[in-house]
Structures are given as C-alpha cells and as structure tokens.
Structure 1
C-alpha cells in the first residue's frame, strides 16, 4: 500500500461523494482503491444519502435502513478508510424532500426526527455530517440543527453544507430557503466548509471568474470547496480535463488557502469510468496534493549535524476538519444512474 497523507491533511481538500454503492448486478462498488492505488491523497468521503422519512425511526441510506445487510461491506470499508486517515461524513438530504421540513418544526417534532439520525451517526462512528438542504428551511432551523450537532458530537465533528454556487453570490438564487451569508455570520465558526456546486446550471467552473467573485465578495477561500461533476452522465456542467486543469492550477497558485475540490460522484468518475473510478482522485492529487506524495526523506541526524528547521508544509499546516467552514449543495434534479430509486438525490 502506498504511503498515506496524515489525517490532519493540509489544504487543498479532495472530497468525493459516494452514493451509488452497488452495480447493476447488486455487487458492492468498492472505495478501497482510493487507499490501495498509488498516487492518491484523498482527504474526505461523503456517504450519501441519509433520508428522514415520515416515521422517525425509519431513516434510510438511499432506499434501505442503514442496518440493512446490503451495507455490511460498505460499513466495513468506511472503517478501513478512517483507519487510513480519510475522514468519512454522512450526507443528509438531497433532492428527496422532506428531511429538513421534518426538522424545521417545533422542539418536540425536532427531537423525534433528529434522534434517530444522531444515533446512526454515533453507531457508525462517522466523522461529520454534510447538510444538503434542497428544500425550504428557515435560518433558525438550520442554526438549531448545527448547534445540536456541535453539542452532541463535540468540537472535532465536521459540519459542512452543500449550497449551489449561485447561493454564495446571490441569496435569492438557492435551493435552501435561508441566506448562506447570514448563516456564515451566525455560525461560520462551526461550519468547516461549503461543498459548492458549480454545475447543473448553478455555477460555471470552465474559468476562474465565478470563484474569484466569491472571494471578492468576502468568502474565505479555505471554506469554498469547488463541486464538480465527475462524469457528463451525472449532470450538466462537466468540465473537460484540459480547461479544468488550467483553472485549478490558476486558483491553486492565486490562493494559498484554496479550499479544494469535491466530485459528484465516485462510482463512474472520469477518466477511468465505472471500471477505474479512483482515477479521478489520482488526477486531482496530481493537480492539488502531489507534493504530499513526493516529499524527500529527511537526512540522517547525528551529533555534528544541526537539526533542520521544521518544513514550511508542517508549519503552515491547516486542519480542514476544525469547525468553521462550509458545505455544498447538491444540484437540481437530473437523471443519472444510481443503485437507488428516484426518491434520492
């Protein structure tokens, strides 16, 4: 197995969503190549999609309860990823509406619907939760949810959100109802980053202009993780490799705290497609985190050798898992292959 980056990985992040868990024949789609294949320095996997249904105890991961036997391999692999230094988050919500409407209610109803989600996160030891709000929710409702997660899981629990890109430039153009700028002012310290969707008509990443506008508007670059479509079959706005590489290289050089990229989604990521979906993470590592895999070994130290200064990388290391960033929103409705039915993201 190739050497892995430390768990407290510096920026930029490389994040992949994992919603399609099985192929057409029902066989599990493994994510272990993300740690066994060479040249990959992935930082986070976001497991999708958790849904809150009408009966509070009948939460689902896609279409089945998280304890369903079909997920035995999945949960085992999530533990292996975590043991290898990759943080694993769950994703709550998505295109299937209802989860946040049920949470955005009076205290009694909130407790009934929040409790099973909290218990599932604890049972499986997830490192965080991505709030993918694609329905109307009040600002007070999302603040209450963030406060409760922080209270229940402590300061190291990763809370992200998933706005569409336009929501960070114009509060009227979003799928969530609340104003993300107001949320950042009120609870930015608890939001690790925003998985910002630059696709499906909500953003454009064929050039750096939209990202630059966000930074000029005041968004910290370390809190904007650029959301990308990993395959044209997954939605509109796919950016081919040549222009994508140029834009990422430009922004990586322009902003020392560039937040990173996320891909929707893992199972058919280009350039490898369904046969080799981990190649997307390898290409992103080359562009953004290759230096972590090519650092020279430290020379031997003896009594006559003056200890060398700590490397700049370690001095400037940024822990992307500390509270204070933002999450990204899942795209508008679109058609693509998944092992779940159309009630999902």
Structure 2
C-alpha cells in the first residue's frame, strides 16, 4: 500500500529552522509519495505561489534539491493545489480565455519542477465540470504516467455526498474516465480527510462506507491528522491509527489504498516522537 505525506510547513516546530526531507528516505519509512503543499493560482497568472512565496524563491532551493533526491530513490513528488485558500479553481474554470491563461501558468510550473503529479484539494464551491476539464487537460498534456489525485473531505465520498466542493464526486468520477490510466479513471486515487468533523479516523466505518459507495479500496487512502495542531479536531494517538489500519489491511489486503498524514512538519509531536519521519515510519 501507498505511504504518503503532505508537507506544507517547511520548518521544524521546535526551533523554526528548515528541516530536511531526506530522513524519509535515509530511514526505513517506506514512504512512496510526498505532496508539496499548497500551490495557489492567484489573480495574476504569473504569480503562482507555494504557500506565500513563488516556488522559485530561494526559500525553496533546498526543497527542490531534496525533492530530486527523493525522486531518484523512487519516491513520487507531487503538488497539492488549493486547500483552505480560495480562488485557484474558479480561476482555472473562469471561461475560455482566462482558463487557458491560468492553466498555462500551472502547466509550465508542473513542467519546470518536474512534478510527478498533482493533488486537487477543492474546498470551494465549483461545478463538477471544473475539475473534470482540468483532469482531462492534465491527462492530455502530461500522459498516463502523470498522477492526479483528489482530497475531498471523507463525507463527500460517502452516500451523503456532503462536503466543501459543492459538486457530486460520484458524478465526476463516472465521467472522469480514461482508456490509458489505471482502473480506467482519470483520478488515480482519493485522499479523503478523516478529520475536522468530516470523518472519524478511530474506526473503520467511514472508510468502509466509502468503499461500499462504489470506490475501490485501492483508490482510497486513509488520510489522517498527524498532530493535534494540524486541524481543528479529529487527531488520534498513533496507536489508534495503527489498530484501525491493521484492521483495514486485514479486510482489504493488497487492495488497501494506503495511508496519508496531514501534515509532516510536526507529525508525531503529540505521540512523543522527536522527528516527523518516525511518525511516518511507524504509520
């Protein structure tokens, strides 16, 4: 199964110094994918930012050097785009001329930094045709090996369908098909958020509900809070996560879609772990 990590805060919580991504590969964590978060499409299409800075700002120089080293060891490095900051998706779906302008900026950013894929975290209301068009364009321009994932809140993949995006993921997934990508789907897999009141990571029930709702287990990663401060609610001790994950692995075997943690910088802080890679490895 996949082992994924979101990296948004690029510093240590203990002393604010920038940390290294390399312990994830120099230690036996079994990490498979790292998401660099969060990419934002701003009103000026030439002013894309990774959090608050241009991705080419010197503050990220070490990040890109280390990302290349992760990739050389077989770890996939992706962007996560969107999240709580609004605007990226309406801009990418704002009409023919604007859409092309904003998409070109995203296209060249993905190309320049040699990303292996992108995670679409839509936390603002758009029509399903918005992510559908984006998924189709990415598949056309980057090919079948480019990874496209989505990170809805867990309830959006459950029968209620209630969440933040304002569209039906069932409708989107039924239309986002491909003859060349795994499972015939444009969306390789989902990272549903089991926290902040949208899902309960202390039980297998929410995950099972998603699978029963028609999403294959190998397309559903169990997305958890890595520390209390990383979300409003829903963090659980790692012993709880381990118990739930063990049950999911027993139930689904090799078809289990893996685990993910938001976010890396202070992962394990509340489990008395001194370094975030230890939490990832334990998970």
**TM tier relative to shorter chain:** over 0.9
Partner of 2:258 in structure 1?
260
Tell me, yes or no, if structure 1 residue 213 matches structure 2 residue 209. Answer: yes
Partner of 1:202 in structure 2?
198
1:171 to partner: Cα distance: 5.2
Greater shift, 232-241 or 197-206, is seen at: 232-241
Higher RCO (C-alpha 8 Å, min separation 6) = 1
Tell me, yes or no, if structure 1 residue 238 matches structure 2 residue 248. Answer: no
Whole-Å separation in 2 of the counterparts to 1:180 and 1:251 = 23
- Aligned partner of residue 264 in structure 2, secondary structure: coil
Task: Flag structure 2 segments of 5+ consecutive residues without an equivalent.
Answer: 178-184
Whole-Å separation in 2 of the counterparts to 1:209 and 1:114 = 38
> Residue 81 and residue 172 in structure 1: after superposition, are their counterparts in 2 closer, same or farther (change >3 A)?
same
Residues 268 and 278, structure 2, Cα contact 8 Å, conserved in 1: yes
Partner of 2:57 in structure 1?
68
Aligned pairs for 1:1-345 (under 5 A) are 12-23=1-12, 27-37=17-27, 39-170=28-159, 172-188=161-177, 189-235=185-231, 236-256=233-253, 257-270=255-268, 275-284=274-283
1:228 to partner: Cα distance: 0.2
Task: Flag structure 1 segments of 5+ consecutive residues without an equivalent.
Answer: 1-11, 285-345
1:240 to partner: Cα distance: 1.4
- Aligned partner of residue 181 in structure 1, secondary structure: helix
Q: Which has the larger share of helix? A: 2
Q: Which of structure 1's runs of 4+ aligned residues deviate more than 2 A?
A: 22-27, 271-275
> Residue 241 and residue 22 in structure 1: after superposition, are their counterparts in 2 closer, same or farther (change >3 A)?
closer
Whole-Å separation in 2 of the counterparts to 1:26 and 1:102 = 33
Larger radius of gyration: 1
Greater shift, 153-162 or 164-173, is seen at: 164-173
Query: When the two structures are superposed, what TM-score results if normalisation uses the length of structure 2?
Result: 0.92
Whole-Å separation in 2 of the counterparts to 1:64 and 1:209 = 39
Greater shift, 93-102 or 170-179, is seen at: 170-179
1:297-331 per-residue CA deviation (whole Å, 9 max, x = no partner) reads xxxxxxxxxxxxxxxxxxxxxxxxxxxxxxxxxxx
Residues 95 and 134, structure 1, Cα contact 8 Å, conserved in 2: yes
Whole-Å separation in 1 of the counterparts to 2:212 and 2:162 = 18
1:25-52 per-residue CA deviation (whole Å, 9 max, x = no partner) reads 6632211000112x21110000001101
Q: How many residues align?
A: 272
- Aligned partner of residue 241 in structure 2, secondary structure: helix
1:23 to partner: Cα distance: 4.1
Query: When the two structures are superposed, what TM-score results if normalisation uses the length of structure 1?
Result: 0.76
Partner of 1:292 in structure 2?
none
Whole-Å separation in 2 of the counterparts to 1:246 and 1:281 = 15
Whole-Å separation in 1 of the counterparts to 2:69 and 2:240 = 34
Greater shift, 153-162 or 168-177, is seen at: 168-177
Partner of 2:182 in structure 1?
none
